[in-house]
Structure 1
Amino acid sequence: MSKTQVRLGVDIGGTFTDVVLETGNDRFSTKVLTTYSAPEDAIIDGLHQVCAKSGVLASNIGQIIHGTTLATNALIERRGAKAALITTQGFRDVIEMRSESRFEQYDLNLTLPEPLLPRNRRYTLSERMDARGNVLIPLDRAEVEALADTLAAADYTSIAIGLLHSYANDAHERMIAEVLAARLPNAMISLSSEVSPQMREYERFNTTIANAYIKPLMKSYLGRLKDRLATEGAACPVFLMHSGGGIMSLESAAEFPVRLVESGPAGGAIFAADIAARHGLDKVLSFDMGGTTAKICLIKDQTPKTARVFEVARTYRFKKGSGMPISIPVIDMVEIGAGGGSLAHVDAMNQIRVGPESAGSEPGPACYGRGGDKPAVTDADLVLGKLDPKSFAGGSIPLHPYSSAAALETVIGQRLDMDATEAAWGLAEVVDENMANAARVHAVENGEDLSNYTMIAFGGAAPLHAARLCEKLGVARCLVPTGAGVGSAIGFLRAPFSFESNRSVFMRLSDFDPAKVRALFAEMEDEATRFVRSCDADATIRSDHKVYMRYSGQGWEIPIDLTAEQSANPDADTFLSLFEKDYETLFGRAVEGMEVEITVWSVNAFTDPDASGALTPLPATQQPTSGGTRNLFDPALGQRVDAAIIQRDTMQPGALAHGPAVVTEDETTIIVPSSREVIAHTDGTLDIRPTSQGDAQ
């Protein structure tokens, strides 16, 4: 087997590090606890395990695709470099003033999150561009040199440069970078015109600062990882999953690490989109629940929904507006602190609350026996019978049911007069309702009705909760693919090489200039294609075109997809028709007679995905062999039931089992409640659906 046929996918999560090795059509995987002090240690441990399982030498691996939460965690924990910001005079406090919107309107004691950089690390220069890129105040090179000496004396390791309207003209930013490179050769530089060349200075400055803040940390980590892998014999190209759902080179990731924020969840969405394509599904709700968080994403026409801005580290009950805005292409998803390690407590109103605090892997939930004494979601799942204490994570982590019961009774039971089972039921219902409510809100915000959707569940904890979530949401079908427990890592291996190029060029439709639009799209297409070509010189590259439009006077835009013909031959009437159609879908009606504006233009170049035809549905033909029963609590019935235990590998294509049932495998467990049945497809995917469908497919 050639090296190019052997690929490794690695996902570092808050609790587990997932490692997947693919050799042709064979796949081998493992989960190991994340090692926070040196994340590469867990990767090497997982590499040894999958190589031993497959009989493949590390030297035979031809490509490694990696995604990580390290960038996100560094921003959340404020664990970054000593960094500074250089900006236009008068705009020093933009990142502290934010957008002046109140994310909780009626909270009189509202506290805004602190900016990444304190005021004494924010410096200004006398210069000014206008919104069209014309120079209003020239930049004095001598002033820049004097500031460089000040920064050198302060010993900064990373510097963000964000000037007003530099997305329209980057000449001043490049002059500053040139001076700093000569005066501070060891400092790392981040330009807003490269990191996020888009309008809205608050988001752009914040994104550039975030890039500078985590750049030394991520560059060091990626360098160490590449060296460790080479020492193990895996001296192959290493690529990184980026937040937009594509793959970028390790060198580009080290230069723009802010694009790695949300890289793990993005891999999960790509995994779900691949399953949707294989099953011919056009409306999918992706549900990814791991050890620390749960992620929900809408996938239409086998393509995850994307956005230009998202927030990291929301500080106020995960409310929109309370976090740190990052302005980069990203797969649009809602993320809440509801993972297997999310901790529960009882608040002052005697209500059970779950998350966002997580036990992580150190010490982990109480049942891990590593010193944790607070109940987590995994503890509730264990007490309710969803988990086998002897086979968790393939038997590598023995669980302690008595520790779970003790933690539940101490923290919840004693406060609310409940036994361990009631406390576990309450905890599980709260976390399931939190996730269901997040999915409802996300659907409403996007004008979608979830009753027409199929759920795809993956991640170590999602199959434990997916069927109950479907009951709450009124979703009929739930698919649990093979490898669901390590879905994001598999998603990395399905992701295309891609790069999205953006430009902020303001244009009213009344002033629409087709020639200028064609030139703009051609410039962005060339930039995006060159980036992808640098990752894969021989690939077939395709591209998507998009514009962001709004009515004049509105504060935000909606994305409008364009066909190749529409972008090659731009026409104002066509753009208006597309905008009004999408606006009406989202908000119920278009607004007659108002001026329409375009603010951002986008081209996403990507390599062709694996073309796999849709699978043919199977009729139910056989009953799988049961390996005994387990006492399982069914929350819909409010009582314990005897559930059949079925090994997943015994469910051959066409096998049908009625709930209640527990389908077990090494990396996760699938719960089939009394209201559902499960059938196996030809690719091994399990299809959970209401029992009333009988044996009909």
Structure 2
Amino acid sequence: MSYILAADTGGTFTDLAAYDSESGRVIYTKSLTNYGDLVEGLMSCVTKAGIDLAKAETVKFGTTLVINTFVQRNGAKTALVTTKGFRDVMELGRGNRPVPFDLRFAREASLIGRDLRFGIDERMSAAGEILQPLDLVELESLATCLRELGVESVAVSFLNSYINDEHERIAVEQLRKFLPDVYVSAGTELSREWYEYERTSTVVANAYVGPKLEDYVERLNERLSLEGFKDSFFLMASNGGVFSAERAQQQPVMLVESGPVGGCIGAGVYAEALGLERVIAFDMGGTTAKCALLENGRFEVKSPYYVGGYERGFPVRGGVLDIVEVGTGGGSIASVDRHGGMHVGPRSAGSTPGPVCYGRGGVEPTITDANLVLGRIAASSFLGGEMTLDEAGARSAIEKVATALGFSGDAGTDETAQGILSLGALTMASAIKQITVERGIDPRDLSMIAFGGGGPLHTAALARELGVPHLIIPPEPGNFSALGMILADARVDDTRTFLKSLDQDAVPLFTAGFEEMEQRVGGEMARDLGVSSIRFERQVELSFKGQKHTVRVPVGTDPDTASVRETFETIYKRRYGHVEVNSPIQIVNLVLTAAATIKRPRLEELSPSVGEGNSNPSGERSVYFAERGGRISTPIYQRRNLQLGFSATGPAIIEEYGSTTVVGPDDRFEVGQLGEIHIRFN
């Protein structure tokens, strides 16, 4: 046996997918995420799957450790070293007011308090000329102070270092020498863009999470080695590619959305294989729901990304999948406020204690409890029977909410449970509208690929609500993010500020800039990953002169000014509805994407085998459907038994190991050639 393995640590479950390249067999397992020891939770999946890691060729991991560290504010004790007079840049931020009518508006507190932000004598001009040399004596004195303060991590960000990093590079070298046990990170190691606040925010975030991610990677490496794994492993980055463990330790902030991107990669591969030009990738797990728009199998990577949201969070410069995330998942808690209004999420039961039906001490009803009470999932077949659910406990918890709302009896409990699902659906629909309607895209022109443990349970109702005509449920949707990671390539995004008017003189200059970036990034990837064939994609960020925001435009290896202008104006008009023809255009940034293929199976090799026996239902049960206003006797299908090409009309429940698909009354479903389920709506 020889395995290609991927694991995704989520907020509620840790998912694993492993491909045996000799037998062609694909193994899937799930375990509750162990918040106390993420490595232990992951190894639990490996043990359940019976995998010998000594026979693994390639191992990839996605983790929520970085985003959880920011959300919980439990990172390292971090100091900021910056140019004297600029230590308050984190507080000043930008002058805009994203919530103009909230008189009590306040951003989240900085990751570093003012008492741990230090200015030092040095100054670089906007042209990259040294105006004041770096004071090395002062730097050594500061290192002594930081040691006495017990600082665990240091972020270094100097003014205008993006254009000349000499002072920053020297400062980092000296601090690493003076403080050998302290994690030290430089802003220019993460971003060479001119945005002072965003660049500083990025390196502060990197330093804040650095020691924890470094420790996680070291413990993971130690545990894998003990289990016999001898090769290098990879971590899933937020840009949709994988990083080497070494790069992940240097740039942990680039793993901020490490978990969700795996499913989007898988959705892109399936969309391309099925010939779908534009699709919504929708992932609902135990804690959150996420969605992204894919065109021709590709997703957009954006920068900056705001941890905690644009309104109150802080920015991170770097490639992050353009994904919208809301706090609605299977563990989202339903509650009634003092005015008698019901709310669902964003509070989540997570894996500890989990929904009431898990029997782990949860007392507040969740979306999973509502699905169980309504008959949409079965107590005896959850996770293939590995975990028996407490239906009586779930019903009792929902009855308390029903009583608070003035409902009684079994019908009242059903209506309350359906209300929980409906409120969750409203939040999830708003997320889908953000990536479609708010960008001038009609959902009725799209297909949707749904995955995650909760995605197939809810997306038929969402699709009908939004007018999406075609829904696809890929094989093993509950482990689909891990499956997507198996298919992920290595990827590095690099951005450099390049301020020049778009004219004939600019083209040879930015072409030379790209060639230098390709040589450097290609060399790093070859060293880190041992790859020889690297694909490059060039884009320039442009704006009309005087504008702050930019538009990305792809450029080839032999561009000309006219074609770049024409492409920019086309994209700009599609996005904003108008364009000022012949207005001066400015180049702001050069964006390079480098990708290399890591050993992976073909999609066809991951497709499930043809169902054995017949495709007849395995039984029936009473299921509540809101569109019929009550319960219907509904056939239950086992997905592993469904033959390719089989079709039927709903209502139907299709059960499998990690998820359950709900097909509404009169909706039609069919099993495709890759084992995917197509659902179409009347």
Structure 1: distance between partners of 2:122 and 2:470: 58
1:492 to 485, 493, 496: 485
Structure 1: distance between partners of 2:437 and 2:498: 30
Instruction: Tell me by how many angstroms 1:135 deviates.
Output: 2.5
Where does structure 1 differ by over 4 angstroms across 4 or more consecutive aligned residues?
608-616
2:301 paired with 1:306: yes
1:628 to 619, 632, 645: 619
> 8 Å contact 2:401–2:416 — kept in the other structure?
no
Secondary structure of 1:625 counterpart: coil
Structure 1 residues 416, 312: closer, same or farther in 2, change over 3 A?
farther
Structure 1: distance between partners of 2:306 and 2:626: 34
Give the match for residue 87 of structure 1.
Answer: 82
> 8 Å contact 1:278–1:614 — kept in the other structure?
no
> 8 Å contact 1:276–1:282 — kept in the other structure?
yes
Secondary structure of 1:501 counterpart: strand
2:595 to 595, 606, 624: 606
TM-score (structure 1 length as normaliser) = 0.93
> 8 Å contact 1:342–1:355 — kept in the other structure?
yes
Secondary structure of 1:636 counterpart: helix
2:565 paired with 1:581: no
1:363 to 353, 360, 372: 353
> 8 Å contact 1:74–1:80 — kept in the other structure?
yes
> 8 Å contact 2:8–2:16 — kept in the other structure?
yes
Give the match for residue 549 of structure 1.
Answer: 542
Structure 2: distance between partners of 1:478 and 1:110: 40
Structure 2: distance between partners of 1:205 and 1:378: 41
Structure 1: distance between partners of 2:403 and 2:4: 48
Give the match for residue 619 of structure 1.
Answer: none
> 8 Å contact 1:517–1:570 — kept in the other structure?
no
> 8 Å contact 2:653–2:660 — kept in the other structure?
yes
After superposing the two structures, state which structure 1 stretch, 347-356 or 92-101, moved more: 347-356
Give the match for residue 683 of structure 1.
Answer: 674
Instruction: Tell me by how many angstroms 1:136 deviates.
Output: 3.0
> 8 Å contact 2:439–2:575 — kept in the other structure?
yes
2:365 paired with 1:375: yes
Secondary structure of 1:197 counterpart: coil
> 8 Å contact 1:267–1:492 — kept in the other structure?
yes
1:592 to 578, 581, 598: 581
Structure 1 residues 511, 188: closer, same or farther in 2, change over 3 A?
farther
Structure 2: distance between partners of 1:448 and 1:360: 33
Secondary structure of 1:264 counterpart: coil
Structure 2: distance between partners of 1:95 and 1:445: 30
2:185 paired with 1:190: yes
Structure 1 residues 372, 612: closer, same or farther in 2, change over 3 A?
closer
Instruction: Tell me by how many angstroms 1:262 deviates.
Output: 0.3
Give the match for residue 695 of structure 1.
Answer: none
Give the match for residue 235 of structure 2.
Answer: 240
1:659 to 631, 634, 650: 650
Structure 1 residues 638, 165: closer, same or farther in 2, change over 3 A?
farther
> 8 Å contact 2:614–2:643 — kept in the other structure?
no
Instruction: Tell me by how many angstroms 1:129 deviates.
Output: 2.2
Structure 1 residues 510, 126: closer, same or farther in 2, change over 3 A?
farther
Structure 1 residues 637, 550: closer, same or farther in 2, change over 3 A?
farther
Structure 1 residues 623, 62: closer, same or farther in 2, change over 3 A?
closer
> 8 Å contact 1:485–1:668 — kept in the other structure?
yes
1:23 to 17, 20, 25: 20
Give the match for residue 320 of structure 2.
Answer: 330
| Counterpart residue identity of residue 519, structure 1 | A
Structure 2: distance between partners of 1:533 and 1:468: 47
Give the match for residue 500 of structure 2.
Answer: 507
Structure 1 residues 390, 613: closer, same or farther in 2, change over 3 A?
closer
Task: Kindly provide the CA deviation profile for residues 23-52 of structure 1, in whole angstroms up to 9, marking residues without a partner as x.
Answer: 12320011100011111111111101112x
Structure 1 residues 467, 26: closer, same or farther in 2, change over 3 A?
same
Instruction: Tell me by how many angstroms 1:485 deviates.
Output: 0.6
Secondary structure of 2:155 counterpart: strand
Structure 1 residues 309, 432: closer, same or farther in 2, change over 3 A?
same
Give the match for residue 661 of structure 2.
Answer: 670
Secondary structure of 1:506 counterpart: strand
Structure 2: distance between partners of 1:662 and 1:528: 49
Structure 2: distance between partners of 1:163 and 1:412: 57
Structure 1 residues 614, 373: closer, same or farther in 2, change over 3 A?
closer
Task: Kindly provide the CA deviation profile for residues 334-363 of structure 1, in whole angstroms up to 9, marking residues without a partner as x.
Answer: 000011111122235533222111101000
Give the match for residue 180 of structure 1.
Answer: 175
Structure 2: distance between partners of 1:209 and 1:450: 39
Structure 2: distance between partners of 1:657 and 1:152: 69
Count of aligned positions = 670
Task: Kindly provide the CA deviation profile for residues 356-391 of structure 1, in whole angstroms up to 9, marking residues without a partner as x.
Answer: 111010000111111111111111111121110111
Instruction: Tell me by how many angstroms 1:100 deviates.
Output: 3.0
1:647 to 638, 643, 665: 638
Give the match for residue 221 of structure 1.
Answer: 216
1:449 to 442, 452, 459: 442
Structure 1 residues 411, 88: closer, same or farther in 2, change over 3 A?
farther
2:10 paired with 1:13: yes
Structure 2: distance between partners of 1:214 and 1:615: 35
Structure 1: distance between partners of 2:636 and 2:503: 66
| Counterpart residue identity of residue 566, structure 2 | S
Instruction: Tell me by how many angstroms 1:416 deviates.
Output: 4.4
Cα-Cα RMSD = 2.0
Structure 1 residues 539, 409: closer, same or farther in 2, change over 3 A?
farther
Structure 2: distance between partners of 1:88 and 1:445: 40
Instruction: Tell me by how many angstroms 1:638 deviates.
Output: 2.5
2:105 paired with 1:106: no
Structure 1: distance between partners of 2:85 and 2:61: 41
Structure 2: distance between partners of 1:7 and 1:398: 30
Q: Which runs of 5+ in 1 are unaligned?
A: 315-319, 617-621, 693-697
Secondary structure of 1:156 counterpart: coil
| Counterpart residue identity of residue 29, structure 1 | Y
Instruction: Tell me by how many angstroms 1:324 deviates.
Output: 2.2
2:520 paired with 1:527: yes
Structure 1: distance between partners of 2:569 and 2:193: 24
Structure 1 residues 358, 613: closer, same or farther in 2, change over 3 A?
closer
| Counterpart residue identity of residue 418, structure 2 | W
Instruction: Tell me by how many angstroms 1:304 deviates.
Output: 1.0
Structure 1 residues 535, 636: closer, same or farther in 2, change over 3 A?
farther
Structure 1: distance between partners of 2:666 and 2:90: 51
Structure 1: distance between partners of 2:648 and 2:146: 67
> 8 Å contact 1:624–1:656 — kept in the other structure?
no
After superposing the two structures, state which structure 1 stretch, 192-201 or 66-75, moved more: 192-201
Task: Kindly provide the CA deviation profile for residues 405-448 of structure 1, in whole angstroms up to 9, marking residues without a partner as x.
Answer: 22222235413436221111111001111111111122134332
| Counterpart residue identity of residue 170, structure 1 | D
> 8 Å contact 1:627–1:647 — kept in the other structure?
yes
| Counterpart residue identity of residue 559, structure 1 | R
Structure 1 residues 416, 310: closer, same or farther in 2, change over 3 A?
farther
2:451 to 444, 451, 458: 458
Instruction: Tell me by how many angstroms 1:132 deviates.
Output: 3.0
| Counterpart residue identity of residue 300, structure 2 | K
Structure 1 residues 139, 377: closer, same or farther in 2, change over 3 A?
same
| Counterpart residue identity of residue 33, structure 2 | T
> 8 Å contact 2:647–2:670 — kept in the other structure?
yes
| Counterpart residue identity of residue 31, structure 2 | V
> 8 Å contact 1:207–1:326 — kept in the other structure?
yes
| Counterpart residue identity of residue 569, structure 2 | E
2:65 to 62, 67, 70: 70
Structure 1 residues 658, 526: closer, same or farther in 2, change over 3 A?
same
Structure 1 residues 573, 131: closer, same or farther in 2, change over 3 A?
farther
> 8 Å contact 1:352–1:412 — kept in the other structure?
no
Secondary structure of 2:100 counterpart: coil
> 8 Å contact 1:278–1:615 — kept in the other structure?
no
TM-score (structure 2 length as normaliser) = 0.95
> 8 Å contact 2:450–2:471 — kept in the other structure?
yes
Structure 1 residues 494, 431: closer, same or farther in 2, change over 3 A?
same
Instruction: Tell me by how many angstroms 1:614 deviates.
Output: 14
1:517 to 480, 502, 510: 510
Structure 2: distance between partners of 1:449 and 1:117: 43
| Counterpart residue identity of residue 109, structure 1 | R
